[in-house]
């Protein structure tokens, strides 16, 4: 005896399959477009994330000119920041090797983690110091906007 599906049920199943198929296609198309946009629009000339993060909290408080002045002063740090990021990648790669070892050496892992924290702290201190040097060079009326709560 053959398995029979009622025409209404068959129609509902086909519609359901169509909707699921369209949803899956939309997901993959969206993921592909997002990835392509990130690849094509993401310029190599962009500032490192640590600099962009430092500027983000100033964005709605300072004039575009003041923000550009601070960004210009922070961009001087870009080569050093990129070198620090490369060093961090190396340290993290070495840490991964240490952790993946059959008998991980806890002392070496702790030393690598300490070195990573030192490098991150030095990078953060460098960016923050330069940011506040630049802020203190702004006229007092422009700096006054920093006293307002962030939006």
83-110 pLDDT, tens digit per residue, is 999 999 999 999 999 999 999 999 999 9
Alpha carbons within 13 A on the beta-carbon side of 83:
6
Which is more confident, 150 or 68? 68
Would the pLDDT of 17 be above 70?
Answer: yes
> DSSP state, 1?
-
Three-state secondary-structure class, residue 115: helix
Please give the average per-residue pLDDT across 128-143, as a whole number: 92
Q: For 3-17, 74-88, 127-141, which range has the lowest pLDDT when averaged over its residues?
A: 3-17
Q: What pTM, to 2 d.p., does this model score? A: 0.64
């Amino acid at each position: 005896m053959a398995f029979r599906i009622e025409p209404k049920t068959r129609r509902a199943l086909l519609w359901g399959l169509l909707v699921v198929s369209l949803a899956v296609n939309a997901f993959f198309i969206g993921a592909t477009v997002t990835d392509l946009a990130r690849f094509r629009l993401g310029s190599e000339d962009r500032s490192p994330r640590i600099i962009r993060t430092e500027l983000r909290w100033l964005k709605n408080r300072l004039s575009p000119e003041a923000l550009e002045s601070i960004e210009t002063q922070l961009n001087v740090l870009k080569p050093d920041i990129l070198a620090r990021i490369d060093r961090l990648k190396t340290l993290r790669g070495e840490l991964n090797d240490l952790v993946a070892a059959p008998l991980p050496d806890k002392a070496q892992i702790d030393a690598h983690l300490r070195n990573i924290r030192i490098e991150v702290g030095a990078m953060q201190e460098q960016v923050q110091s330069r940011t506040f040097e630049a802020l203190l060079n702004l006229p007092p009326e422009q700096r006054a906007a920093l006293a307002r709560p962030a939006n």
